[in-house]
């Protein structure tokens, strides 16, 4: 949902940076890899130590690469022509981006869960973060499997953007002193919305295959 409404804004915001990266010879794949591993390392280092705010700041900086690599891949040539990418390059770029997105998702929720299960002293929050990790995996898998079968499953209340934005925002605020009960409520809402999204996707695929 957020993807559809925010894409135009962030495309306009990051296009100048994308042009600069292309002039420097940086490819979309490099941006994807650097951004993903930057987010992963930031989460693995900061969250288990309880640095929830600064960890969120670092992760957020790298997360923006998820938008930047797509913008970079779609930039027209200097003469205004369309970017020249083979079908193989497009397929590889899409596969790499989606695979690393899943790794980033798992690490973010897992690192938050680790902190609250250990030094954070809130095993209930840790368990909820793990539940969201599992449900998010089901949501993503349902769409990927449907698309591999030539079907559509791009629907739902809690797509990746919603899950990551809400996790980062409220984890960061918790690090600034917001009561953890707010994050607890947000994780419950996310878990319910993710479960509902998975069911929506199952229902949509069933409707397309009925007959």
pLDDT digits (tens, 9 = 90+) for 176-210: 999 999 999 999 999 999 999 999 999 999 999 98
What pLDDT does 199 receive?
95
Distances (CA, A) of 97 to 19, 70, 94: 20, 9, 5
For residues 43-59, give the mean pLDDT.
Answer: 96
Q: What is the token pair recorded at 60? A: 């957020």
Is the pLDDT assigned to residue 78 strictly greater than 90? no
The pLDDT score that the predictor gives to residue 139 is 93
Q: What is the pLDDT of residue 155?
A: 86
3-state SS track over the chain:
CHHHHHHHHHHHHHHHHHHHHHHCCCCHHHHHHHHHHHHHHHHHHHHHHCCHHHHHHHHHHHHCHHHHHHHHHHCCCCCCCCCCCCHHHHHHHHHHHHHHHHHHHHHHHHHHHHHHHCCCCCHHHHHHHHHHHHHHHHHHHHHHHHHHCCCCCCCCCCCHHHHHHHHHHHHHHHHCCCCHHHHHHHHHHHHHHHHHHHHHHHHHHHHHHCC
Per-residue confidence band for 70, with pLDDT thresholds at 50, 70 and 90: confident
CB 114 within 8 A of CB 57: no
Phi and psi for 52 in degrees, rounded to 5? -70, -40
d(CA 64, CA 46): 18
Using the predicted structure, report yes or no on whether residue 4 has a pLDDT greater than 80.
no
Q: Which of 69, 101, 105, 124 is catalytic?
A: 101
* Whether 101 is catalytic: yes
| The pLDDT of residue 10 | 62
* pLDDT confidence bin for 25, thresholds 50/70/90: confident
């Amino acid at each position: 949902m957020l993807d559809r409404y925010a894409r135009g804004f962030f495309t306009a915001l990051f296009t100048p940076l994308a042009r600069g990266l292309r002039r420097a010879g940086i490819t979309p794949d490099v941006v994807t890899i650097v951004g993903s591993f930057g987010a992963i390392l930031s989460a693995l280092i900061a969250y288990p130590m309880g640095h929830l705010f600064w960890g969120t700041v670092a992760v957020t900086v790298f997360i923006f690469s998820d938008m930047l690599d797509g913008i970079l891949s779609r930039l027209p040539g200097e003469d205004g022509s369309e970017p020249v990418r083979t079908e193989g390059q497009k397929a590889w770029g899409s596969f790499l981006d989606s695979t690393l997105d899943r790794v980033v998702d798992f690490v973010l929720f897992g690192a938050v869960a680790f902190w609250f299960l250990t030094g954070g002293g809130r095993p209930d929050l840790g368990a909820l973060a793990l539940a969201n990790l599992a449900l998010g995996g089901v949501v993503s898998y349902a769409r990927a499997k449907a698309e591999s079968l030539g079907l559509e499953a791009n629907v739902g209340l809690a797509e990746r953007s919603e899950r990551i934005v809400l996790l980062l925002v409220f984890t960061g605020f918790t690090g600034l002193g917001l009561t953890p009960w707010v994050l607890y409520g947000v994780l419950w809402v996310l878990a319910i919305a993710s479960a509902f999204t998975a069911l929506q996707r199952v229902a949509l695929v069933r409707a397309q295959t009925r007959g």
